[in-house]
Structure 1
């Protein structure tokens, strides 16, 4: 993400990071709107409409903890770019034209894997193209392959360090993650080195590296 981006788009990434580190879980996928509502019974949130779209296609979630709008969309909806532009204009007050070369409008939980896994909605933010494409052709491709074999079956999906890396500009995905945690340690080390270079460190330190390498071996 460039510092020349509109401040509200930069802020959306900070909100995701704060949600992940300070106020977890950072939810990024749900099997139904009702499941998402139930997840917020103890930390109230409200679901608001996005002008011109039914709730089944897109909605805005506003949590009481930070009063920040989040865009959630149907992973099967191919007009997600237009949906995000409307959200940015009407809810984030972004007046600049958002082109696809500078910004990728990204499903935080991969849309193909999410649709295969039966998710009704996934959270969206704008991120830089290179980290999005790097994750898309490797990590997210593997997630889709696994979902085609055995669906994950979870009604709620939360952000992982891989999610944070993608949002924070990590471009180091070079191959499909393996099933073996040991084989994934090099890319995890690169991921955490990138995050550390911009001031993001895991609370659990080295232990988090091992857990993340293990997660890569089974995430779907």
Structure 2
């Protein structure tokens, strides 16, 4: 992430830190804002220590900002094609930037892929800057498989949490070269090994690495 604006790097680091804590706080998709505890169904907040803020005059059904601790998160409707404009407003209002940074090294995109998000019934997904090469490689392979599977059999989970694949995407892993195998976890082992090697090379500790590699290879056969 050399050359990235500091606020963009900080957004990625926040996601990685949330995931590595292992407390389930690395949320990347929800089926409704009530998951955050702001609707009538749940009092308080289910994501402790956070609060929802309006993104300017935008209705929360389209986008909102969630402030977890000190770092804001942008959440957008995966059906909304104007998410880059939403990020522009977010950057000006919450990241102390003059607007959405432009550059070839990153894409402003959905952490949970928008097509799979729509098909899985998500109302909002988290958005941030993601390394362009890795983002596009994941889009051609992993995320294509996710949307294909979700189109056949959606997974109606209320809250989607980050996975090791999410962290790899956010952390610039570029090794996605083909669709993940849907039948044989062993066939997914080489790309998983490359993913974890990339993370370790960045100083990201993978606890119980052997078990996590095995579980991730199996998850890749059904992930949607």
Name the TM-score class by shorter chain: over 0.9
Which residue of the partner structure matches residue 187 of structure 2? Answer: 183
Aligned counterpart for 2:64 among listed residues 59, 65, 73: 59
Contact 2:180–2:221, Cα closer than 8 Å, also in 1: yes
Query: Structure 2 vs 1, CA of residues 135 and 98 (structure 1 numbering), >3 Å: closer, same or farther?
Result: same
Shift of 1:213: 0.5
Query: Structure 2 vs 1, CA of residues 42 and 170 (structure 1 numbering), >3 Å: closer, same or farther?
Result: closer
1:129 pairs with 2:128 = no
1:26-63 superposed Cα distances (whole Å, 9 cap, x missing partner):
11000000023259436132111001311000000112
| Structure 1 segments (4+ residues) deviating >4 Å | none
Query: Structure 2 vs 1, CA of residues 36 and 138 (structure 1 numbering), >3 Å: closer, same or farther?
Result: same
Alignment partners' CA distance in 2, 1:47 and 1:78: 22
Which residue of the partner structure matches residue 18 of structure 1? Answer: 17
Query: Residue 55 of structure 1: SS of its match in structure 2?
Result: coil
1:181-213 superposed Cα distances (whole Å, 9 cap, x missing partner):
111000000000111111112112211100110
Which residue of the partner structure matches residue 48 of structure 1? Answer: 53
Which residue of the partner structure matches residue 168 of structure 1? Answer: 171
Q: How many residues align?
A: 217
Contact 2:36–2:46, Cα closer than 8 Å, also in 1: no
Alignment partners' CA distance in 1, 2:202 and 2:164: 14
Query: Residue 48 of structure 1: SS of its match in structure 2?
Result: strand
Which residue of the partner structure matches residue 31 of structure 2? Answer: 31
Query: Residue 86 of structure 2: SS of its match in structure 1?
Result: helix
- RMSD between superposed Cα atoms in Å: 1.5
Aligned counterpart for 2:73 among listed residues 49, 70, 85: 70
Query: Structure 2 vs 1, CA of residues 125 and 62 (structure 1 numbering), >3 Å: closer, same or farther?
Result: same
Alignment partners' CA distance in 1, 2:156 and 2:191: 27
Alignment partners' CA distance in 1, 2:148 and 2:36: 26
1:74-130 superposed Cα distances (whole Å, 9 cap, x missing partner):
000000011112111210012365226332112111000000111000001101110
Q: What residue ranges of structure 2 are gaps of 5+ in the alignment?
A: none
Contact 1:192–1:201, Cα closer than 8 Å, also in 2: no
Which residue of the partner structure matches residue 85 of structure 1? Answer: 88
1:201 pairs with 2:205 = yes
TM-score, normalisation: structure 1: 0.94
Alignment partners' CA distance in 2, 1:160 and 1:211: 11
TM-score, normalisation: structure 2: 0.92
Alignment partners' CA distance in 2, 1:23 and 1:205: 14
Alignment partners' CA distance in 2, 1:142 and 1:194: 22
Contact 1:28–1:109, Cα closer than 8 Å, also in 2: yes
Contact 2:88–2:99, Cα closer than 8 Å, also in 1: no
Alignment partners' CA distance in 1, 2:28 and 2:47: 18
Shift of 1:4: 1.4
